Copies of this chain bind each other. A is one copy, B any other.
Amino acid sequence: MRYAVLGTGVVGRTIADKVASLGHEVVVGTSDPQATLARTEPDGYGNPPFSDWQAQHADVRLLAFAEAAAFAETMINCTAGSGSLEALRAAGAANLAGKVLIDIANPLDFSQGMPPSLDPVNTDSLGEKIQRSFPDAKVVKTLNTMNAQVMVDPARVPGEHTVFVSGDDAEAKKAVSELLASFGWPAADILDLGDITTARGAEMLMPIWLRLWGALGHGDFNFHIVKAHPDA
């Protein structure tokens, strides 16, 4: 399968590394590949420049968003939520049409101070905005409720814990569940919340995730939905 990972931050790098390690063809999309590769300083979070990662992943090509999306059969949106729609417009609606678009982004809004709030929130979600903006893409929201290392290595957190899936297209959700299974997610821990409007619930976990990160002092945790009637 040919994948395009959109976004060059920690989430994009972690996902691209994992998907490539599973034997898929992977490209990474960014707005300006030359500018991305020319950076030599750590980013605002202290992460090493993308060129360092690229040097260790010579098999993963860095392309402009539109080229990356044209190449791919499935896309994974790992851009910052505030820039996701712009990145996807650059990718081009025609390059998204008919394809599965996995949305991992959270619409964090840093303009109201720390901790960040969400925009949109409550009566809308980034997942829905993307689906409305690109009606021919098959948007599936998932993995946005945990840190990147847990996304691709669920065994990092002991025992059972949950990954949520939201989307309108049942076949797309099935394909995404298979990708999650290949990451190590047991079928029993993949929880289909329903249509893309349920992305509101998944995105609105971010505020308590951030508070838990503060209270626990690390990001190696996850939500588990514990049920009294597991067979119901």
Whole-angstrom CA separation of A232 from B212 in the bound complex? 13
Whole-angstrom CA separation of A158 from B230 in the bound complex? 10
Q: Is A118 an interface residue (CB 8 A)?
A: yes
Q: How many chain-A residues does the 8 Å CB contact rule pick out?
A: 45
Q: Is A73 an interface residue (CB 8 A)?
A: no
Q: Is A22 an interface residue (CB 8 A)?
A: no
CB < 8 Å: which of B221, B227, B232 contacts A157? B227
A226 near B122: Cβ-Cβ < 8 Å: no
A211 near B218: Cβ-Cβ < 8 Å: no
Which 7 pairs of residues, A with B, have the shortest CB-CB distance?
A: A201-B208, A220-B228, A201-B207, A224-B224, A204-B204, A161-B226, A201-B211
Given contacts A201-B211, A210-B201, contact A220 B216 (CB under 8 A): no
User: Which parts of A193-232 form the interface with B (CB within 8 Å)?
Assistant: 193-194, 198, 200-202, 204-205, 207-212, 214-218, 220-229, 232
B193 near A211: Cβ-Cβ < 8 Å: yes
A158 near B226: Cβ-Cβ < 8 Å: yes
Q: Is A112 an interface residue (CB 8 A)?
A: yes
Give the chain B neighbours of A168 by CB distance below 8 A: none
Subset of 26 A-B contacts with CB under 8 Å: A112-B123, A117-B123, A118-B122, A122-B207, A156-B228, A157-B227, A158-B228, A159-B226, A164-B208, A191-B215, A192-B215, A193-B208, A193-B212, A193-B215, A201-B208, A201-B209, A201-B212, A204-B204, A204-B205, A204-B207, A205-B208, A218-B232, A220-B227, A221-B227, A223-B224, A224-B224
Whole-angstrom CA separation of A186 from B224 in the bound complex? 17
Q: Is A17 an interface residue (CB 8 A)?
A: no
Q: Is A121 an interface residue (CB 8 A)?
A: yes
